[in-house]
Structure 1
Amino acid sequence: MTATAPETGAGQGASGPGPRPPGRRERKKQRTREALVDAAFDLFSAKGFDATTVEEIADAVDVSSRTFFRYFASKEDVALTFQEEQTRAIMAALAERPADEPIMTALRRAVVVIARACEAGELGFDPGRFQCMLSMMNDSPALMAGSLEHAQKKQTILIDFVAERLGVDPATDLRPHVIAGAATGAFQAAAETIRRHGDAFGSMSQTVDQAFALLEESLNYPQR
């Protein structure tokens, strides 16, 4: 949701007031979007991803398919809202890591914290939705492809974050690109391991932790 920019005027400080709360129109849009996501995951859990149609998701919220496409480009887009929430949470957790913590240690701890939160239903995550997402990834090649594309697009955010933490320019230093690529690959490797081998390596958070531990041994650049 996009907040309206505050107006400035006489008697206001240099920084001005905080953002205005969203108006009625924005609140209604957000409720519709959330309802579509809720309905989609209910259907995904009951029928599976591939068997669920956009029309069914829209009908469950009593809106048209045309309205659905105002909010989402596809049903893959709806499913990947969970991955989007994960990404935002991981970046927030990374921002809270100590400034002098080696980069891969910071990444490992932030990612594991969010993976555990997804499993335990903490930080606003729904553990049932998390398990549904893992199951859908295993069953739907189309959703898996969408997930990989999403991860690649978000990798730029991680590159910039790593570059800032290291105090380097990503245009001239390869390390942020290597670290971000390795981190993305470690998470995907953990997810793929869970899909193929179940809990042989433990829960998702435990498997992610093991994957990042391997990277920590070789790519743990100190902070600036």
Structure 2
Amino acid sequence: MTATAPETRQGSAPAGPGSQPPGRRERKKQRTREALVDAAFTLFAEKGFDATTVEEIADAVDVSSRTFFRYFASKEDVALTFQEEQTRAVMAALAERPPDEPIMTALRRTVVEIARACERGQLGFDPDRFQCLLSMMSDSPTLMAGSLEHAQKKQQLLTQIIAERMGTDPATDLRPHVIAASATCGFQAASDVARRHEGAFGSLSETIDQAFAILEQGLNS
């Protein structure tokens, strides 16, 4: 069920219809940002997240630490660029699901689709970087905390998208909030199980699929 799309570098975004291409200054800034992300993940893979410093990432790109902080608030911010790209892909894919599809079914198929794309290197995702991020979150409580905080911040956006699909107002309807929170918890539970019991339920995407199946079928069944 995974659709393919032209590959794009992580962190880059295609220009929309009628938009002007970025100027030289913006292209240079984008190249610098991408170079910092590339250098960071190379160092993370070699040394681990906690042992890598901001200074080392900056040195690898031949820029100063001050320049680094123009692009990222911290090395956690760099590491979670992949998670940010995942989130954007999920939101975009969810918006494309058939409008008459039950919401939890739509969420299940969307999240599994993006997880499989990450594993297989589709939709512009780098599977090595994906595995690196999963490994780092297993080893670094700091990065795991950052990942959970990121997910919590994005839950409000997910709630709004769900409410729009359901044709309701989240200010007066509790259902979109509960569904978004359930989806977030289902994903986190699957990810935690996949890290702690590697292979017990198959790949990460397969584990996510099983977790969302439980939500889709109902917890009392």
TM-score (norm 1): 0.90
How far the C-alpha of 1:92 sits from its partner, in A, is: 1.1
> Are 1:106 and 2:103 counterparts?
no
1:23 aligns with 2:8: no
Q: Is the 8 A contact 1:33 1:71 kept in 2?
A: yes
Q: Which residue of 1 aligns with 2:213?
A: 213
Asked if 1:133 is matched to 2:136, the reply is no
Higher relative contact order (CA closer than 8 Å, sequence separation 6+): 2
Segments of structure 1 that go 5 or more residues without pairing to the other structure are: 5-16, 220-224
What RMSD in Å do the two structures reach over aligned CA positions?
1.6
Larger Rg over CA atoms: 1
Q: Which amino acid aligns with 2:61?
A: V
User: Once superposed, which parts of structure 1, at least 4 consecutive aligned residues long, lie more than 6 Å away?
Assistant: 1-4
The answer for the alignment partner of 1:73 in structure 2 is: 73
Q: CA deviation at 1:167?
A: 0.6
Describe how 1:1-224 pairs up with structure 2 within 5 A: 18-218=18-218
Task: Return the alpha-carbon distance in structure 2 between the equivalents of residues 177 and 73 of structure 1.
Answer: 29
Could you list the per-position Cα deviations for residues 157-204 of structure 1 after superposition, in whole angstroms to 9, with x for gaps in the alignment? 100000000011100100000000000001100110011111111100
**3-state secondary structure, aligned to 2:50:** coil
Distance 2:152 2:211 in 1: 19
CA distance in 1, matches of 2:100, 2:13: 34
SS in 2 for 1:50: coil
CA distance in 1, matches of 2:165, 2:129: 32
CA 50–200 in structure 1, closer or farther in 2 if over 3 Å, else same: same
**Which 10-residue stretch deviates more, 135-144 or 210-219?**
210-219
Unaligned stretches of 5+ in structure 2? 1-11
Residue 2 (structure 1) shift: 9.6
| Distance change >3 Å, CA 44–CA 160, structure 1 → 2 | same
Sort the Cα spacing of 1:218 and 1:2 in 2 relative to 1 into closer, same or farther, 3 A: closer
**Alpha-carbon shift at residue 148 of structure 1 (Å):** 0.3
CA contact (8 A) 1:159 1:170 kept: yes
Q: For residues 39 and 95 of structure 1, do their structure 2 counterparts lie closer, same or farther at Cα, with a shift above 3 Å needed?
A: same
Same amino acid, percent of matched pairs = 79
Count of residue pairs the alignment pairs up:
207
- State the alpha-carbon separation in 1 of the partners of residues 99 and 172 from structure 2: 22
